[in-house]
């Protein structure tokens, strides 16, 4: 079976040229070149994984340590988690594809739990944006469930003072979460009908068909102006096959090998 993930679908929808670099050429940015937002999110998830295993998650990255502490204090007591980083997959009917992914956690009732970080205020507007997150729809479809739990934590907006020790800054970050806590830490459920999930599966098949038959990879300049910095920005306009790329590495690529493609 061929495999497809939410990350691949999202990448194709975001920018076909980015998709070309990542999934056709198999070029990945090295960890240190991925940007602060991705670093913080990844580090936070690593610490929750250590927490689930009963191991220490304290290290020299103070902000994500404070985020994990806030999770342990305000969210963990409300959950009964039985698994973390659960691999899920499901065959797509009438195709040779299966969707794959890793759910952040599962609760005792078999409901998937996804941990999110944000730089924005956690309010009704934020909830609305998450309601139709396609990553979550894919997990729900793969698991055959109609409910999903989100945990959300805001990244600290305060900065470490020049004369402040790491331990003092950690204490101040922890205190920051105790003020207007509901706007910085939250947990909520979303539900989808079986009909909505079936429609999503049909839409996913259409998207895979489009990806398989794509041979022109346009740049999406609207994405370049977005909130997140594209990790391929430095090579987007100049990349040629065989280039020696400083902040990137070549990985095994199984997508569209040998296909003659173009980009514009």
- Per-residue pLDDT tens digits for 137-165: 999 999 999 999 999 999 999 999 999 99
CB 50 within 8 Å of CB 57? yes
- Residue of higher predicted confidence among 120 and 225: 120
Lowest mean pLDDT among 7-16, 62-71, 126-135, 147-156: 126-135
Closest CA relative to residue 9, chosen from 93, 127, 92, 129: 92
Going from the C-alpha of 240 to that of each of 176, 188, 244, 255, the distances in angstroms are 48, 46, 9, 18
Average pLDDT over residues 164-177: 94
Lowest mean pLDDT among 41-55, 190-204, 235-249: 235-249
Average pLDDT over residues 236-258: 75
Q: What distance in Å separates the CA atoms of residue 103 and residue 101, rounded to the nearest whole number? A: 7
Q: What is the pTM of this model?
A: 0.83
Dmax (CA) for the chain in angstroms is: 63
Percent of the chain with pLDDT over 70: 91
- Residue of higher predicted confidence among 119 and 30: 119
Checking if the pLDDT of 227 tops 80, the result is no
Q: What is the pLDDT of residues 8-54, one digit of tens each?
A: 999 999 999 999 999 998 898 886 545 666 778 889 999 999 999 89
- Residue of higher predicted confidence among 45 and 227: 45
Q: In the chain, what are the domains? A: 2-12+31-215 (3.90.320.10)
């Amino acid at each position: 079976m061929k495999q497809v993930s939410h990350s691949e679908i999202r990448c194709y929808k975001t920018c076909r040229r980015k998709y070309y670099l990542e999934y056709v050429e198999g070029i990945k940015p090295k960890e240190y070149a991925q940007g602060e937002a991705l670093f913080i999110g990844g580090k936070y998830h690593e610490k929750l994984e250590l927490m689930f295993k009963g191991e220490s998650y304290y290290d020299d990255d103070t902000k994500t340590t404070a985020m994990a502490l806030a999770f342990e204090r305000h969210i963990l007591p409300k959950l009964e988690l039985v698994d973390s980083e659960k691999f899920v997959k499901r065959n797509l009917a009438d195709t040779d594809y299966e969707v794959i992914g890793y759910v952040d956690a599962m609760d005792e009732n078999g409901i998937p739990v996804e941990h999110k970080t944000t730089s924005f205020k956690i309010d009704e507007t934020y909830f609305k944006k998450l309601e139709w997150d396609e990553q979550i729809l894919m997990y729900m479809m793969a698991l055959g469930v109609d409910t999903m739990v989100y945990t959300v934590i805001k990244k600290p907006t305060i900065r470490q003072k020049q004369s402040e020790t790491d331990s003092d800054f950690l204490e101040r970050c922890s205190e920051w979460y105790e003020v207007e806590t509901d706007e910085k830490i939250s947990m909520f459920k979303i539900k989808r009908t079986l009909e909505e999930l079936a429609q999503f599966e049909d839409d996913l098949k259409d998207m895979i068909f489009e990806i398989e038959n794509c041979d022109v990879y346009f740049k999406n300049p609207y994405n370049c102006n977005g909130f997140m910095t594209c990790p391929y920005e430095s090579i987007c306009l100049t990349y040629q096959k065989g280039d020696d790329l400083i902040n990137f590495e070549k990985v095994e690529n199984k997508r569209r090998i040998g296909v003659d493609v173009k980009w514009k």
